[in-house]
A and B are shown apart, each in its own frame.
Chain A
């Protein structure tokens, strides 16, 4: 309960709350000798209550004017879930269908649309997760940091509907995805979900760095490979040994690199929206470790409550004024 006010100098008005101590608002009726009137507990209680009501009413008005609010605060919670970074491929091939064709009409769904639809559903399911979104194409795109705000994440995913860019620079994208976990407490599981439809060779310098970062941040990696019909898959072995290099088969080599990481890694090959849905539900099932996380509660304006209270109390005082005896 961290309370604060917008205009602190108005709090000087709280001094006015002592006024009811001097005058209870009732008209004074003269009496020759008060000693003649016997002590009465009920009257005493009502007199006290009257002053209290008047003081609260003034305090309510002053606090309302000063703009009382509850400051933004963070609550520590424990739930089931993970820190998830969705790393989305924004290369232009994502705008093609699974069949490798440009989307025509409403019949075929592009890979990006399918991914968007299924990830949106995935995000909606994961109630307690912190989810961040990063994208990559020619260079990595910082979209949204790890947050519990579902709406923001959904909006970030929806934003991938804009036309994609050209290249696929996966190592920089991974670097950015891993950077999301810096300055985050190590609790629950940490996941990078890489959604891509292609791969690129990673040079040895980047390889070194990624190895180190994956180890440091203890991040699990899930790679959902949206395979276009006819293109080489992750698990395919080259028929010709001359093609067995990173330039010719980047998917295979990327998979090999990921498998050689010290952290758990799983690859899903999805040739259709249905397969993609299966892959996502697998991740959903796998990642349910206890998670300690901090939920942020936004600033709450309490001035309306103050005014309500003051109105109520003033109405009460008005009622009391009506039953006052006039002599």
Chain B
């Protein structure tokens, strides 16, 4: 069952088409925007008599209202090998869940929803231009849940040309397991848009290590392996490393004016809703 994501905007959409979000267009809305001369909006029903009488040039002033506009909603997802990780929960499944929830919510709001999947480049088979059909999203989700992710996340930077020229709401879903310099480059290329970074981690990788034992870990992307002798000290070291990484990521995102959402458990729509409530407030 899909849950609704109540995404809200702090900015006004420039879209012409009416929708559910505050827009820059004037038209059929509830919220008074300004007075315009009658000649600009020739609707006699909207003539504001009081404002017209006060006009020293005896012109007619007409009230115009803010139109609720639609936006374009994009999910830019990292489909690199590291997203294959399946610990307490599968990152791939979280991605599919989020994709379906976003498409469902976009459909409810009347927004158009697009998906850009990136590995070391933007994969044409994982690219879906913005639209309002739910069926094709379902097909895509089925494809993704069956897919075998490989490669690295360098392609995220190349996602920008696929995004619309005007401001859109972009969910950036990744584990952000790449260098911060690459992240800065990515975020500066996305400055035009409202970016919601969702950091997908798993408790198995950052926190949930056993106290004692021997384990051989293999990097999903590079294939390199290391043997670890787990002990409380090393476990603490890994925890600290992840905490530091979290701080570094937060600083980096805030520098570009967006607040990251860390998901260390399975995907939960309530977490995203809470994130938007906090953001607007």
Contacts and interface: CB of A to CB of B under 8 A. Distances in A.
Interface of A: 24, 26-38, 40, 42-43, 46-47, 50, 320, 323-325, 327
A325 B211 CA distance: 10
B229 A324 contact: no
A323 B224 contact: no
A36 B245 contact: yes
Given A28-B225, A30-B85, A34-B226, A40 B215 contact: no
Nearest to B218: A28
A43 B241 contact: no
Contacts of B220: 30-33
Given A31-B218, A34-B219, A34-B226, A325 B241 contact: no
Given A33-B219, A37-B241, 6 more contacts: A30-B218, A30-B220, A32-B85, A32-B219, A43-B227, A46-B214
B214 A34 contact: no
Contact of A37 (B84, B85, B221, B226): B226
29 contacts: A27-B216, A28-B217, A29-B215, A29-B218, A30-B86, A30-B217, A30-B218, A31-B205, A31-B218, A31-B220, A32-B175, A32-B219, A32-B220, A32-B221, A33-B177, A33-B219, A34-B222, A34-B226, A35-B177, A36-B242, A38-B234, A42-B231, A42-B234, A43-B234, A324-B213, A325-B215, A325-B230, A327-B204, A327-B215
Nearest to A34: B219
B44 interface: no
Contacts of A33: 82, 175, 177, 219-221
A43 B238 CA distance: 13
B226 A47 contact: yes
B227 A26 contact: yes
Nearest to A36: B241
Interface string B228-240: 1111001001101
A31 B231 CA distance: 18
A170 to B, nearest CB: 80
B210 interface: yes
A325 B234 contact: no
Contacts, number: 100
A27 B82 CA distance: 18
A180 B213 CA distance: 69
Nearest to B237: A38
Contacts of A24: 216, 227
A27 B210 CA distance: 16
Which residue of B205, B206, B237, B242 has the most chain A CB atoms within 10 A of its CB atom? Answer: B205
B227 A50 contact: yes
Contacts of A30: 84-86, 217-218, 220
Interface string B114-135: 0000000000000000000000
Contacts of A35: 177
A40 B237 contact: yes
Contacts of B222: 34
B148 interface: no
Contact of A29 (B216, B229, B237): B216
Interface string B68-85: 000000000000001111
Interface in B159-197: 175, 177
B213 A43 contact: no
A38 B227 contact: no
Given A43-B228, A46-B229, A28 B238 contact: no
Nearest to B83: A32
B206 to A, nearest CB: 8
